[in-house]
Structure 1
Amino acid sequence: MQSTAPSAGDAAVTTTIDDNVAIVTLNRPDVRNAIDDATRTTLIDTIEGLGADEDIRAVILTGAGTAFCAGGDIRGMRQRLDAPIGRVGYNGWKRQKSTHRAINALHNLDKPTIAAVNGAASGLGCDLAFACDFVMASNAASFTMAYLKRGLIPDGGGLYFLPRRVGLARAKELIYSARKVGANEALAIGLADRLAESEDLLGEAKAWAAELSVGSPIALSLAKSILNRSLDLPVEQVFALGGEAQSICYTTDEHRDSIQQFLDKGSKAKKGEQS
């Protein structure tokens, strides 16, 4: 089944549902899908809405046109600097809160998430990709942590996600140099998890999403909530969280049905041997 969420053709973010997989597309190709305030707000509403929809089993994030996401909208940065000096810092703080809400919504979404990076990902575009569980890059993809070129630090999660993907030293090198990383190098160093030909990117991402969402959605949600914190917690706390999560799993219909199916299959096999 395929359906498209009702929205105008020029909506900054569009959503298509295909067999319980949501494809969220950043849809500002004329500005390489740069994120302005309105796009950020729409993206938050979209991701949070998908999180509340139990029929959605996985989410793919991609970009329209030839770019994945060019990062923050430079025109928005100009407007920020044109504000009265006494408001610049406060306005920036409010925008930071909105950015972090978008990144957290994506990172903590209790479903598998895949960034299907179809072209250039720069600055905040990289952060959006790395906030997903997995990154699938087309052969046209590139990644640039461009913040320092704008006199800024990575503010969309890169300081957290990048070292976890490539290690601390490599993360420093990519942030300090702001150099472009092509698709093959991205796969080699861990920025990307899989590569696909450009024309096959969405199809392969959807197939991967289907593979990732075959199990219990409750168990997956609980496991992801722990995995997202596991590198920052002592083993005793991971065990404690795991014990609490497993107690919930014991009560689910998925667990009960799975055990019953296994026992029924064994019983039928045994009867076959006796006949």
Structure 2
Amino acid sequence: MSFALIHLEVADGIATITLNRPDKRNAMSDAMRSEFIEALELVSADKAIKALVLTGAGKGFCAGGDIAGMEKRMNAPAGDVGFNGWHRQQRVHHAQALLHTMPKPVIAAVNAAASGLGADTALACDFIIASEWASFTWSYIHRGIIPDGGGMYFLPRRVGLPKAKELIFTGRPVKVDEALALGIVDRQTSADSLLADAKAWAAELSQGSATALALTKTILNQSFEMSAQQVFAQGSQAQGICYTSTEHRESVMAFLAKSAVATAAKDEAP
């Protein structure tokens, strides 16, 4: 399926979504968000796709929300501003939730600046790999708004609450070396090899059972909000599903067959 404002390609079981408004540093317009949501839903539903890499075209990862869209919202009739804003937030949160709950590994390959919603979008992924040109800023404070893309949830889980407050309250830029030290970035690589390294990492992360991976990710994503008893309970249910999966049966049968061959060879040895 072709899109105008993003690019979706799939190769060797790895999907790559590229935000494709390079002239706007990939700022997220309403039209781009609609395409982004559609692409994420396609990737999530396709069992042949094992992992997703998200990146940006040109000299930016994502500059955040589209300023033209902000102006349009402010110029709406006073009585419509609140509801229009609420409706937009539903779309923002839907897109971020699709990234966060994707039942397969998701890697943000941050090629350059990730600002505001762009930084939040990177955090909504499971992992972040960044080039030497990457930077992050939660710049919402400079627009008189709050982080609305999940930053208030994701950032404290990566850097701790006091540091998250400092980065959000100041909106200061965080260059890649500091981002790596703080735990915002998981891996750093060169711009030339960023996409290749992200895809290789995605392939490594997704080589196991897709069923077990999806269920494990679902529980891990909730584990900070659950008690140990709740984690164990959800784990029991998930394990019951895994017991019935094709991947589990095939792996056990392969192991038993290998063991049988090894035992026979040992018995036949002089």
TM range, smaller chain: over 0.9
Match of 1:244 among 217, 225, 237: 237
Give the whole-Å Cα distance in 2 for the aligned partners of 1:41 and 1:161. Answer: 23
1:266 offset after TM fit, Å? 1.0
Match of 1:130 among 107, 111, 123: 123
1:270 offset after TM fit, Å? 1.2
Give, as a single letter, the amino acid of the residue that structure 1 aligns with 2:21: R
Instruction: Please name the residue that 1:140 is paired with.
Output: 133
Q: Deviations over 1:164-204 (max 9, x none)?
A: 11110110010011110011111100110000100000000
Give, as a single letter, the amino acid of the residue that structure 2 aligns with 1:196: T
Match of 2:111 among 94, 97, 118: 118
Give the whole-Å Cα distance in 2 for the aligned partners of 1:13 and 1:101. Answer: 17
Give the whole-Å Cα distance in 2 for the aligned partners of 1:42 and 1:167. Answer: 33
1:253 offset after TM fit, Å? 1.2
1:220 offset after TM fit, Å? 0.4
Give the whole-Å Cα distance in 1 for the aligned partners of 2:11 and 2:113. Answer: 25
Give, as a single letter, the amino acid of the residue that structure 1 aligns with 2:67: I
Secondary structure at the counterpart of residue 231 of structure 1 = helix
Give, as a single letter, the amino acid of the residue that structure 1 aligns with 2:43: L
May I ask how many residue pairs the two structures share in their alignment? 268
Unaligned runs of 5+ in 1: 1-5
Instruction: Please name the residue that 2:175 is paired with.
Output: 182
Give the whole-Å Cα distance in 1 for the aligned partners of 2:2 and 2:263. Answer: 56
Give the whole-Å Cα distance in 1 for the aligned partners of 2:46 and 2:252. Answer: 27
With the length of structure 2 as denominator, give the TM-score of the two structures: 0.98
Instruction: Please name the residue that 1:7 is paired with.
Output: 2
Query: Structure 1 vs Structure 2: percent identity of aligned residues?
Result: 55
1:87 offset after TM fit, Å? 0.7
Give the whole-Å Cα distance in 2 for the aligned partners of 1:110 and 1:170. Answer: 30
Instruction: Please name the residue that 1:3 is paired with.
Output: none
1:260 offset after TM fit, Å? 1.0
**1:62 and 2:55 matched:** yes
Q: After superposition, where does 1:97-112 map in structure 2 within 5 Å?
A: 97-112=90-105
Give, as a single letter, the amino acid of the residue that structure 1 aligns with 2:20: N
1:157 offset after TM fit, Å? 0.4
Instruction: Please name the residue that 2:83 is paired with.
Output: 90
Secondary structure at the counterpart of residue 152 of structure 1 = coil
Give, as a single letter, the amino acid of the residue that structure 2 aligns with 1:20: G
Q: Runs of 4+ in structure 1 displaced over 2 angstroms?
A: none
Q: After superposition, where does 1:202-221 map in structure 2 within 5 Å?
A: 202-221=195-214
Give the whole-Å Cα distance in 2 for the aligned partners of 1:213 and 1:78. Answer: 42
Give, as a single letter, the amino acid of the residue that structure 2 aligns with 1:121: A
**1:78 and 2:80 matched:** no
Give the whole-Å Cα distance in 1 for the aligned partners of 2:212 and 2:263. Answer: 30
Instruction: Please name the residue that 1:29 is paired with.
Output: 22
Instruction: Please name the residue that 1:153 is paired with.
Output: 146
Give, as a single letter, the amino acid of the residue that structure 1 aligns with 2:85: G
**1:258 and 2:251 matched:** yes
1:77 offset after TM fit, Å? 0.2
Unaligned runs of 5+ in 2: none
Give, as a single letter, the amino acid of the residue that structure 2 aligns with 1:158: G
Give the whole-Å Cα distance in 2 for the aligned partners of 1:90 and 1:264. Answer: 62
Secondary structure at the counterpart of residue 107 of structure 1 = helix
